[in-house]
Amino acid sequence: APEAGHAGHGRILAVANQKGGVGKTTTAINLATALAAAGKRCLVVDLDPQGNASTGFGVDRNARQVSSYQVMLDQAPLGEAITATEVPGLDLVPATVDLSAVEVELVDDPRRNYRLRDAFQSCETVYDHVLIDCPPSLGLLTVNALVAAHAVMVPLQCEFFALEGLSMLLRTVERVRRTLNPMLEMQGIVLTMYDRRNKLSEQVEADVRSFMGDRVFETVIPRNVRISEAPSHGKPVLLYDVRCAGSQAYASLAGELLKRGRSLADVA
Ligand code: ADP
Ligand code: MG
């Protein structure tokens, strides 16, 4: 049964959107940090060859000897790739640029879509929440995240083509659900980089909410300069400036996630 593979890992969320720069990594880092601040044990899996989540937690290159690349290729068990972060209760599986070769290296592997799930199955962990930071594509790495996950969390930037991109992502989620992971749920959509002074933000928010209903989190993440500064200090924004609007928004998102429990609704 698909659930069996997930046993003992708390809830695994894939943070996914095939578009780059929409706030996936920022959401993975800061939602996990806010959940950890609420006393939940969290793991962030960096599944993007760019390694932005690893950099964002201040995990430097020589602390990435064992990374998500080895886990994907079954060269190391998941447990060996786990490294602590500065945030109490929050661990990380870092990524390196090697990860960009995985798609080609696994091309003949019949279990290529199940690599990450297999890695979770063969390792016991202690986490309440696992957040997988996906790369900006719907390729093999994102598919692995969707297959390993209980649910998908979609950061959506309030811009003109947001809904078109969302439809494409939802079709992929639906396809994975039909074929590879029948248990996959839609955790929800979180609107990011919201600009209250911009009419377009408001319009896109209204459209997304009427299209997706309560699958959209009430919490909206504002465009906030402290959020964009924090990664260059190797810190989640909640450690960099806990009072800023960005930190407050991620704390509120974590509260909403915990309150809503399993999922907002099934995939349409
Ligand atoms: P993705 O992982 O989807 O490519 P990122 O989370 O890396 O996107 O965000 C892209 C850029 O936008 C980064 O430089 C990040 O610091 C910045 N950013 C993300 N969210 C916000 C926000 N709410 N306010 C301001 N800047 C943000
Ligand atoms: Mg990213």
For this complex, say whether ipTM is above 0.95: yes
The pTM of the full predicted model, rounded to 2 decimals, is 0.95
Which residues have CB less than 5 Å away from ligand 2 (the ion)? 24-25, 52
Among 22, 26, 237, 244, which is best to mutate for testing ligand 1, by the most ligand atoms less than 8 A from CB?
Answer: 26
Q: Is 228 in the pocket of ligand 1 (CB under 6 A)?
A: yes
Backbone φ/ψ region at 85: left (φ over 0), alpha (ψ -120 to 50), beta: beta
pLDDT of residue 8: 62
- Closest-approaching ligand to the CA atom of 229: 1
Q: How confident is the model at residue 61 (pLDDT cuts 50, 70, 90)?
A: confident
Angle in degrees, 0-180, between the axes of helices 140-148 and 162-179, rounded to the nearest 10: 60
Mean pLDDT of 216-231: 97
pLDDT of residue 125: 84
- Which neighbouring-strand residues pair with 14? 132, 152
Give the nearest ligand 1 atom to 52 CA: 7
Q: Is 23 in the pocket of ligand 1 (CB under 6 A)?
A: yes
Residue 246 has pLDDT above 70, yes or no: yes
Residue 263 CB partners (closer than 8 Å, separation 6+): 151, 185, 186, 187, 188
Q: Is 20 in the pocket of ligand 1 (CB under 6 A)?
A: yes
Domains of the chain are 2-260 (3.40.50.300)
What would the pLDDT profile of 72-125 be if each residue is shown by its tens digit? 999 999 999 999 999 999 999 999 999 999 999 999 999 999 999 999 998 888
